[in-house]
Structure 1
Amino acid sequence: MKRGALLIPLSLIIAIVVSALAVVRTKHENRGLVTELEGLRSDRERLDMEWAQLQLEEATLANNNRVERIARNQLGMTEPNDYVIVEDKP
């Protein structure tokens, strides 16, 4: 057999092995990225739920009736009897 006749099949076998290793590596990386994506989606859902709860809490704490009750009871504030407008003079 000639040397050139062995070179072509050998180079094809090497190319097939390299290609197979590349496929395995790519699939492994893909699985890792899918796992990471699922974790990030889970984190996003948790953060969205926390954000909704915080918005509800903020709305509750900023309720006008609540603020007025705290101002009257805890801080002793009252509405003024007379309204006086003071203009700013330059």
Structure 2
Amino acid sequence: MTRLNLLLLFALIACALGVVTSQHKARRAYMDLQKAQTASSRLEVEWGQLQLEQSTWAMHSRIETEAASRLNMRVPDSNHTQIVPVGKGLDQ
């Protein structure tokens, strides 16, 4: 009977250690999940800010202003503009 009691005691201790270990792993995994969700949220905010910044830099009025001020470019007069038809060959 003593051997059976010792065997059951060791089985109980092993099960208890298994429960503690699995709970610890579950808590660690949950903490990692929380960190990943926080990082994901932060990256989504940064992505939105970058899209807003890109749309600001790509505005036609901004490009036109920069072209005029930095590169001294201007819109050509209508008599200097030539319209080329699309889809027609050069030999026609």
Letter in 1 for 2:81: Y
Which ranges in structure 1 are unaligned for 5 or more consecutive residues? none
Query: What is the match of residue 81 of structure 2?
Result: 83
| In 2, Cα distance between equivalents of 1:78 and 1:61 | 19
Q: Does 1:51 align with 2:50?
A: no
Q: CA deviation at 1:57?
A: 0.5
Q: TM-score, normalised by structure 1?
A: 0.82
Query: What is the match of residue 71 of structure 1?
Result: 67
Give the percent of matched residue pairs that are identical in Structure 1 and Structure 2. Answer: 33
Query: What is the match of residue 30 of structure 1?
Result: 26
Q: CA deviation at 1:83?
A: 2.1
Query: What is the match of residue 62 of structure 1?
Result: 58
| In 1, Cα distance between equivalents of 2:75 and 2:21 | 73
Letter in 2 for 1:44: S
